[in-house]
Structure 1
Amino acid sequence: MAIIKSLEDAAALFPSFKELNFLITLFSFLEKYGLLCVEVEFYIAILGLLLTLCHVFVLTRKPMMTSSIISIMIGMGIYDALSMIFAISVKDLIYNFYRDECTPPFTFAEFVIFLLLAHSRENMMRSSTWLGLVMALFRFLALRFASKPGILKISKICYGFIAAFITFLVSCVLTFFNVFRSKLVESGKWTAGEKCNLEFDNDYIIYRQQISEVYNASNQLLLRILTFVNAISTKVLIDESLQFVNFSQILPSLLLPIFTILLIIEIRKARKKITNASSHVQKRTDKTTYLVIFMTTTFFIASLPAGIFSLFQVMYSDEGFIYLSSLVDHFCSVILTVNASVHCIICFVMSTDYRKQTKMILGIQPKKINTNSIF
């Protein structure tokens, strides 16, 4: 991990910037609290995993299986749970990138395991975020074309599962190309610092990532295409010096607020057409839309910081932004994990049927639930 401690360090990493003192302060802040975020996320992920598994269990009860919004949320819950499992798994491995002079580097096998876990986590986070967009899109279409039966077919439970599966497959394709975009090469032997007073029986080789020959061909054409796709969609692992780098979520950061505004416009239009006979149905429809709007907004807030740094990486080619992005990723990961963890709370607060089903599972309510879910 590159460290900025002097004006010379800042100038070397950020040749396009003149406010070097600000960069030193920013780097110091991110380095100080970045590892703290990794520690905090570990415990949030444990709690969030338990909450998310309970959330998925409630959603998969038969009385709740009423629309594509439910099946999409089930898919999101599964992806979020897997993402938290991977987050818990990589916690100690991430610390190795910030090791001191007395800590040996990754072995080849450990590095491969870390990359597999990190890529798998990114795949789950990408799939969950994209499903947030799909959920908002489905809800918008259901409101906008409420009088067209052909469009309303997307409200069926099966279409949500299909959307979740297709989203996962597309994300897997992108992950596949990310995995093979680089290879591990030796960059020298590691020796303990003079202050360590430690002796190691084995020689430790320092490994780093290097862009593979396929991606370097034709003036890195394939690499440029993949980087562009990643930059507008999600995070990737890209670096030649063992760093976990975030190109983040520009596309979700742009589309999520747009979908939110469209949903607000559509719900206002629907209210103007309301009749006394349909007021109860309209109220339940409003609750569904408000739920989607709230979840879409939380996705946007969680994705925004990383999206901003992605835009800077597109605008500037300074190497320092790669390291800044890797540090900012720790903060963004905590926000995304918190966001995923509270989905069950959001549903419990906003859905009457979700509360009834939860109480029934806990045995504090008779086994009778209205199947006309607000979803």
Structure 2
Amino acid sequence: MSNHTNLFPNFTDETSQLFLNFNDIVDNLFTKFPKAEFYVAGIGAITNILHLIVISQKAMMMSSTNVILIGIGIHDLMLMLSILSPFVNRPRIGGCDPPPSLIRVHLELLSYAISDSSRRTSSWLGVSLAFVRFAVLKNARKLRPTNLGKLRFGWIIVFIMSFISILFAAAYRFRFKLIQFETWHPPPSCEFSENFTRPEYGYLQRAIFYDYHELLLKLSFLIDGILAKFVPCFILILLGFLLVKELKHAQGSRKMMRSKKESASKNRTTKIVICMTVSYLVAEFPLGLIMILQFVLAETPGFLLVLSKMQLLFNLINTCNATIHCFICFSLSVHYRNTVKRMLYCYKKRVVVLVCSSFAASSDKDTDSKVARYLKSCGVITSLKTTKCVKKSDEVDKELKAFAKSKDKDLSKIKTSCKETVDCVKELKCKPLEEDHKETLDLCGRALFQDEFKECSKKLQALKKGGDKDAAKCLEDFKSETKKTTKDTCTFLKGSKDCIKAHIKKECGDDKLAGWEKFAQDSFKENECEKAIGTKWN
């Protein structure tokens, strides 16, 4: 009863208990997940570093919008680092670890000031981002020139917002003073020398903030809540509606003003800004409301206790918001995704060149020069695979030349070598490599088809032996026609009365028919058939 009265004067016990229960729920949440913000900040630090690497590329530096996004990314990263730094080598409370030194306490307090400053700057840069995008769209629609889209203007905005926020951070730091509140004595179980002690430091708000009925404390809550949270949120709501309106105008008039491709790019940029605006509203508005309530309820200790716990909860949400900005850009910006792809391409290409140079010792000069040419022409392909494929293709070339001079014309005998070559060339998808070995690939294709067609050939022979007169005549005609001149053969193969196609399709299916047609086309050479019958081969 007494505790309720002290914490919530002028409130009933039931109401006081309700607020205390809510405080316990939030407390339990952070007790079960004590390092929730630490893990989120760790992920956020990684994503923001990657985001800054991408967005600071020369290809991305196109307008003030991109510069403001860089500013947001920098302050988001500073926020993550300021959250992570107090966790580094933090002493365990109640254990044998000595309490933090005076310098460490100073640094922790500085990290809280940086965190406060970064959150504030990031939200105002979000407002600036929305405003600049709206102004650029509006001026473009009315065909009015503007300097707002220039890179220099973006840097000016980032500098001004950062400077103003630093002043607020300095005021935040001034609120607290460091004191030695106790002397630490290690537990007997710890291995310290006798009479070992360490001062324990902490910080509290300066007495001036409690004078005149906490006037300065209330004003600090009010000013910070209004300028850092409430005003940005209301401006963001207004700019959000205006951006949606301008987006509709842009979609309606894009045919008259610019190409669809350029318009789509502009619209995607606007959608990124709208999504960033919504994310800031979700993260910042509750914090602004909490700060205003802290001003209104400054004389009620219980409410300050509950609101401080709620502030921790919404700070976690704010940290999550600072983590997802790169995902918003990646999901909505084609230009952003293309920049990421180009960066990965360049990285892989550098790796490939290193692998290629290290592998060169085990390959001959002719192979090296070919591999280097294919790598240069085809970009990101694995050097080791390329070298092996070039060697294999050259070996099969020699094998096919020897095969051509022999009397044995059964291509299926070289199918194993051919299959390895065809598979590796297809996997690499390198056009110069395919062109250099076109004849080899054609012959190998026929060799592999001959082997695949054996079962189908048996089915056709079975038709002939089974008494199917039409099939027997068709096969005999085909056999005799292919022994005639090129012109007769080509005319027969191209003719609409080619009965063998119908039998292949019926007995073996469309795949084998398509393979047979290609085999016939390659075997009798398309250019010779065109010269012979005067029409293009289909």
Same fold, TM exceeding 0.5?
A: yes
Q: Distance in 1 between matches of 2:91 and 2:7?
A: 23
Question: Which of 119, 124, 138 in structure 1 is aligned with 2:118?
Answer: 124
Alpha-carbon contact 2:250-2:267 (below 8 Å) kept: no
Partner residue, 1:238:
none
Which residue matches 1:11? 5
1:108-187 matches, cutoff 5 A: 108-146=102-140, 147=142, 149-150=144-145, 152-187=146-181
Which whole-Å CA distance do the structure 2 matches of 1:207 and 1:198 have between them? 25
Structure 1 segment 43-58 matched on structure 2, within 5 A: 43-58=39-54
After TM superposition, give the deviation of residue 105 of structure 1 in Å: 6.1
Give, in angstroms, the shift of residue 250 of structure 1.
2.8
- Going from structure 1 to structure 2, the CA distance change for 1:133 and 1:17 (only over 3 Å counts) comes to farther
Which whole-Å CA distance do the structure 1 matches of 2:98 and 2:213 have between them? 36
Partner of 1:284: 265
CA distance in 2, matches of 1:222, 1:212: 10
Question: Residue 75 of structure 1 corresponds to which residue in structure 2?
Answer: 71
How much does 1:186 deviate?
A: 4.6
Q: CA deviation at 1:120?
A: 1.3
Hey, what's the Cα distance between the residues in 2 that align with 1:191 and 1:11? 36
The alpha-carbon distance between structure 1 residues 22 and 100, as it changes in their structure 2 partners (threshold 3 A), is farther
- What secondary structure is seen at the aligned counterpart in 2 of 1:362? helix
State how 1:211-222 maps to structure 2 within 5 Å.
Answer: 211=206, 213=208
Max radius of gyration: which structure?
A: 2
Shift of 1:74: 0.6
More off after superposition, 200-209 vs 78-87: 200-209
Give the CA deviation at 1:35: 4.4
The C-alpha deviation readout for 1:72-97, integer Å capped at 9, x for no partner, is 0011111111111111112369998x
* Residue type at the aligned position of 1:262: L
SS in 2 for 1:233: helix
The 1:256–1:14 alpha-carbon spacing in structure 2 relative to 1, beyond 3 Å, is farther
Partner Cα distance (1:17, 1:190) in 2: 40
The structural deviation recorded for 1:134 is: 0.8
1:274-324 superposed Cα distances (whole Å, 9 cap, x missing partner): 435525133222211111000110111112332332232233231223322
Question: Which residue is 1:320 aligned to?
Answer: 302
Distance 2:25 2:94 in 1: 19
Paired residue total: 340
For residues 112 and 278 of structure 2, the distance between their equivalents in structure 1, rounded to whole angstroms, comes to 26
Change (3 A) 1:161 1:250: same
Q: CA deviation at 1:44?
A: 2.0
Deviation at 1:197, TM superposition (A): 6.8
Q: 1:309 to 1:227 in 2, by over 3 A?
A: closer
| 8 Å contact from structure 1 (residues 274, 282) kept in 2 | yes
Please give the alpha-carbon distance, in whole angstroms, between the structure 2 residues aligned to 1:83 and 1:197.
40
172-181 or 103-112, which moves further after superposition? 103-112
User: C-alpha deviations, 1:209-253, integer Å up to 9, x for none?
Assistant: 13255x67888766554443212134xxxxxxxxxxxxxx33333
Structure 2 partner of 1:302 = 283
RCO higher in 1 or 2 (8 Å CA, sep ≥ 6)?
Answer: 1
> Aligned pair in 2 of structure 1 residues 94, 264: CA closer, same or farther (>3 Å)?
farther
Distance 1:36 1:293 in 2: 35
Cα-Cα RMSD: 3.2
For 1:106 and 1:15, how far apart are their aligned partners in 2? 37
Residues 73 and 53 of structure 1: is their aligned pair in 2 closer, same or farther, counting only changes over 3 Å? same
Question: Is residue 39–residue 91 contact of structure 1 (8 Å, CA) maintained in 2?
Answer: no
1:275 maps to 2:255 = yes
139 and 109 in structure 1: CA distance in 2 versus 1, 3 angstrom threshold = same
Match of 2:36 among 40, 47, 52: 40
Residue 90 to residue 328, structure 1, CA distance change in 2 (3 Å): farther
Q: Structure 1 residue aligned with 2:196, among 195, 201, 205? A: 201
- Judged with a 3 Å threshold, the aligned counterparts in structure 2 of structure 1 residues 285 and 78 are, in CA distance, closer, same or farther, namely same
Shift of 1:102: 9.6
Q: Distance in 2 between matches of 1:50 and 1:211?
A: 37
Secondary structure class of the residue paired with 2:35 = helix
Whole-Å separation in 1 of the counterparts to 2:335 and 2:97: 53
Q: Distance in 2 between matches of 1:305 and 1:26?
A: 16
Greater Cα shift, 301-310 or 72-81: 301-310
5+ residue gaps, structure 1: 1-6, 235-248, 368-375
CA distance in structure 2 between the aligned counterparts of 1:17 and 1:256, rounded to whole angstroms: 36
